[in-house]
Amino acid sequence: MANSRSGDSMTSRIVRVLDSFTGERTVQTATQIARRTGMPQSSAHRIVNDLVEAGLLERDDENRIRLGMRLWELALRGSRALRLRQAALPHMEAVQAQIRQHTQLAVLEHDEALFLERLSDPDSGANVTRIAGRLPVHASSAGLVLLAHADPAVRERVLAAPLRSLSPETITDAEALRKLLTSIRRRGHVVAPGSIEVISTGVAIPVRDHEEVVAALSVVLPRASPTEPAVLALLAAAKSIERDLQNSH
Amino acid sequence: MANSRSGDSMTSRIVRVLDSFTGERTVQTATQIARRTGMPQSSAHRIVNDLVEAGLLERDDENRIRLGMRLWELALRGSRALRLRQAALPHMEAVQAQIRQHTQLAVLEHDEALFLERLSDPDSGANVTRIAGRLPVHASSAGLVLLAHADPAVRERVLAAPLRSLSPETITDAEALRKLLTSIRRRGHVVAPGSIEVISTGVAIPVRDHEEVVAALSVVLPRASPTEPAVLALLAAAKSIERDLQNSH
């Protein structure tokens, strides 16, 4: 009933349609959606119509399709992402006011770092992070913290897979990475110079809900900046976020 | 293919499942989801399994279901909500730093005000608004601004429907409301004392993208506060947001 002849569930086809939208591609025609998802035109048009009717997609006067406000509402209203982000935002603002560089909150999602929030100062430097964007766990400072505290099975899976180089300084050797993860658990934070972009240093620490690490808080500094003030600001913020998460239960 | 025997599309059933989660109900069992959506247990369990497999829902160790991070990611990544909110956030922070009360951003969604962002000061007063929550357009200050600038067809539909009273001061007379909407368009802002809660006054102004009103920016003040500083702060913020939206095209 819910399956097409190809055995592909209706849910997974809806995901493919939603997944064809990105921060750089916010408007598409149904024909483009069909091409990008590899679905037959007729199926893609039918699913798009269904999703428009349900409000998950919106169609403008020129027949172009965007993600709908209803989708946004359904995805956020009862989400862990919103709860985490609400607990974190005031304390991220405090970090940002003090350090005046990009301040970010990420969670582990399917072996990658998914960014829930990002605050930027007009004067802050280069930063590839986007809200609802992802970065590899072995390269981003937030990802390294998340990986250090992940389930051992996740850690072994990431270490066993090819470790892609994002910059000449990305750690791509599994044994070196394993040592770094041990040191992150011992020291309680990471300073990752140049692992994403040679001109920047990421600094990150874990955020706990009860005993479990649920997120990483990070700042991206220009390479030459001292890192100690950032570590201290992040530690203070994480402590406050953890207190607010406790109180929100 | 995508339809159940009841003629209810798979998409609309997925929406019903997602819609059963709220800010107060973030964790449910599949059995509770079936009961709340009015679906047969077998269908509800099957859809929940499908959604868990696609990552749109997550199942914890105790077999309880939550909204998934993947849903959050898909809903936000290419969304108009995120673009608006990113343009607005720094300027909302400026309003909040100055007025030190709740500062909010809302859009019109199916004849209601849907709140995209809310910043709160620890000292700010009562406020019923929630992120991804809704308020009636005829009662909330943000809603009144959105309604004043809505398509005439939307305005007539809202005015023709019963106007629910949220407080003794909510305007529930269609003709009085029509006059208020005209004055909002002429004056460029609204001051709505007591229309949601008698102890608060809402102040709101429109935010335009090119010529079109795409959102409303509002603050909720304690009833006795002067409103003029809030109006001025909102006007300055709206101007900055409009400039940033222009530049983000």
Backbone angles phi, psi at B106, to 5 degrees: -135, 155
B115 touches chain A (CB under 8 A): no
Beta-carbon separation of B11 and A71 below 8 A: no
- The CATH architecture to which A10-74 belongs is Orthogonal Bundle (1.10)
Question: Looking at this protein, which amino acid is placed at residue B179?
Answer: K
Q: What is the pLDDT of residues A139-190, one digit of tens each?
A: 999 999 999 999 999 999 999 999 999 999 999 999 999 999 999 999 999 9
Instruction: Identify any residues that bridge with B114 across adjacent strands, giving them in sequence order.
Output: B107, B134
Q: Is the Cβ of A49 closer than 8 Å to some Cβ of chain B?
A: no
Helix, strand and coil in chain A, % to nearest 5: 45, 20, 35
Question: Best interface-test mutation with B: which of A76, A130, A240, A248 has the largest number of B CBs within 10 A?
Answer: A76
Question: Two tokens at A189?
Answer: 């934070």
B43-61 confidence digits (pLDDT tens): 999 999 999 999 999 999 9
- Of all residues in chain A, the one with the smallest CA distance to B75 is A72
The answer for B 6-35 residues in CB contact with A (under 8 A) is 9-12, 14-15, 18-19, 21-23, 25-26
* Tens-place pLDDT, residues A61-80: 999 999 999 999 999 999 99
* CATH class for the region spanning A80-247: alpha beta
B55: chain A residues, CB-CB within 8 Å: 15, 110
> What would the mean pLDDT of A49-58 be, rounded to a whole number?
95
Closest Cβ opposite residue A23 in set B75, B78, B81: B78
pLDDT exceeds cutoff 50 at A6? no
Distance of CA B43 to the CA centre of its chain: 31
Mean pLDDT (whole number) for B149-165: 96
Count CB-CB contacts under 10 A for residue A3. Answer: 16
User: Does the beta carbon of B69 lie under 8 angstroms from any beta carbon of chain A?
Assistant: yes
Return the H-helix or E-strand segment holding A87. Answer: helix A80-99
ipTM of the complex: 0.90
Instruction: Delimit the domains of chain A by residue range.
Output: 10-74, 80-247
- Please list every residue in chain B whose beta carbon sits closer than 8 Å to the beta carbon of residue A249: none
Task: Tell me whether residues B11 and A70 touch, CB distance under 8 A.
Answer: no
Predicted TM-score of the model (pTM): 0.90
**How far is the alpha carbon of B3 from chain A, nearest alpha carbon, in Å?**
7
- Using DSSP's 3-state secondary structure scheme, residue A125 falls into coil
CB contact under 8 A, A72 and B81: yes
Which residues 81-100 of chain B have a CB within 8 Å of chain A?
81-83, 86, 89, 93
Q: Is the pLDDT of residue A130 over 60?
A: yes
Decide if pLDDT at A7 tops 60.
no
Cβ separation B53–A11 shorter than 8 A: yes
Alpha helices, H only, chain B: 10-19, 30-37, 41-53, 69-77, 80-99, 141-148, 152-160, 174-187, 228-247
What residues in B contact A119, CB-CB < 8 Å?
89
Strand ranges, E, within chain A: 57-59, 65-67, 102-109, 112-119, 134-136, 190-193, 200-209, 212-222
